[in-house]
Amino acid sequence: MRVRHTILSCLLLGGSGTAAWHLGELASQGLGHSRSGIEQLSYDWISDVEEYRDDHFGFRMAVPAGWNSIDPLLDYTAEEDGLAVAHSVVFEAPRESESDDFSDYVMVEIFPGSRSEKFATDGTRAKHVTINGIAGLRESLAVDQHRIGESTVDLVVHQAEIRDTGYTVGFYAIGEPRNRQLIDDAFELLIRTFTFDLPPYRVI
């Protein structure tokens, strides 16, 4: 859980930003493989989106316009060999006021192999999902009084995970219950627009 706890701690502090695309433009471009139905989606809480491209790991996705990217201080390495073993991309929503002590956010985590850092559940409410043409599972849950440092916050969590030969990708939208509709829309946007140009890790 090291990556997510680091992110949650950062989001009690702050983030920085990308080029606005209208949803219609995104749909007409046909980004990625799993885009069926994006033209029909109604994002009541998201009017514009931005395309994010990660050239190093070879993927792209859409996020709500105006959400700030957090620099990948969340890449970390295996101490014994210095090799990168994880990559995280995070976008946080603008804070409503300076008194806000938490930012809603979306996140993608990429690991080699079968490693996973998703929130543990009993799996009884998991649903099948296809992201970038790869079958996986998605879940929604409530996390009450989640401790972040000396603070606690109630959270709504949407999570999904896909696995292919050599890698695992986790998708998250996490926010406060009062912003549930925005979190719902941001998660749907993320998993429907995510695509790899090349697999991030390959077995050789």
Query: Which of the four pLDDT bands, split at 50, 70 and 90, describes residue 99?
Result: low
Q: Count of alpha carbons within 13 Å of 182, Cβ hemisphere only? A: 20
Instruction: Give the CATH number for residue 172.
Output: 3.40.1000.10
Strand partners, 169: 110, 162
Instruction: Judge whether 43 lies within some domain.
Output: yes
Domain count, the chain: 1
Instruction: Judge whether 183 lies within some domain.
Output: yes
pLDDT at 21: 32
Instruction: Judge whether 171 lies within some domain.
Output: yes
Query: Which of the four pLDDT bands, split at 50, 70 and 90, describes residue 46?
Result: confident
Residues with Cβ within 8 Å of residue 131, at least 6 apart in sequence = 34, 160, 162, 169, 171, 191, 194
Alpha-carbon span 54 to 71, nearest angstrom:
12
Instruction: Judge whether 202 lies within some domain.
Output: no
Find the range with the poorest average confidence among 22-31, 37-46, 165-174. Answer: 22-31
Q: From 7, 60, 49, select the one nearest 25 (Cα to Cα).
A: 49
In this structure, the number of other CB atoms found within 10 A of the CB of residue 24 comes to: 9
Enclosing domain of residue 58? 2-196
